[in-house]
Amino acid sequence: MASPWLALPAFAKINLSLELLGRRPDGYWEIRTLYQTITLHDRLRLRLTHSPEVVVRVPGGGAPGGASNLIHRLLSRARRLLGIRRGAEVELEKNIPVARGLGGGSSDAAAALLGFLRLTRTELPEEELFRLGASVGADVPFFFLGGCALGVGRGDEAHPLDDLEPVPCLLLSPPRTIPTRAAYAWATSRARLTPRPQTAMIRDSRSLAAGLWTPGNDFEPVVFPRFPELARMKAALLRAGARQAGLSGSGSTVYALFSQRAAAERAAARWASAATVFQVETLPRRRYQQWLRWGVVQR
């Protein structure tokens, strides 16, 4: 007999800054980024089964199911690593657009693993948990933390920073997707022509307060010339009163942070015909972790 279902949210992220620092010996890019979770989320239901298989279904579409889903890859690796005989059945409701720079697939995988560990009453040291998550996706370790965090290395080394106060956040997600691999290829071509200057290191929240970070995204100079409508979105959001706006990840979502909800709502109405619009908030770590811990058991 299968176990009861456990229902969990899987929250999206934006990148408050993203710097491409250069190519690593392993061929990946060394990056430095500020991750921030937001309230937009997918919904997962998972339960243990007596079959040794991991089954992932996405009934409403919006993401691949089966073995090609990051949830499947991560839970399969966790079972082998921990010697857990029982399998898992996962149903995923997608609300986070795929391939838009919002980390939905990584967040789904992280939430599913946390739920799987909870159902099997298994604990992992943080270092091992992060290593396991990073084996399937660079953003996955961040989603074990949530809130505001510094990402370095490939983005897979996540370090919590003091949380910022929740603020209204507007997401404009156009129909166009931008494959991450293509965006990095464009960045590689540009880097050969334009070496990047060194910048100060973000170490903790005091560094943020001292202005030792740049609220920008190094993908913008290579993505915006190819997709000028994204540049127009950013410029229009800043004119509409956003205190910060930019590309999230390698795109194609453009986000904006507002001080006043009314200004965010007016900007949302302006872009409703050109993109999928989400009016959300930034999500601090304490609330993020509470919601993951409060996963609801469904009989």
Residues with active-site annotation? 13, 139
Residue type, 136: V
d(CA 295, CA 292): 6
Give the other-Cβ count within 10 Å of 62's Cβ.
Answer: 15
Q: Are 110 and 143 in contact (CB under 8 A)?
A: yes
Residue carrying the six token digits 């690796």? 77
Q: Between helices 104-119 and 126-134, what is the axis angle to 10°?
A: 140
SS3 198: coil
DSSP per-residue codes, 5-30: EEEEEEEEEEEEEEEEEEE-TTSSEE
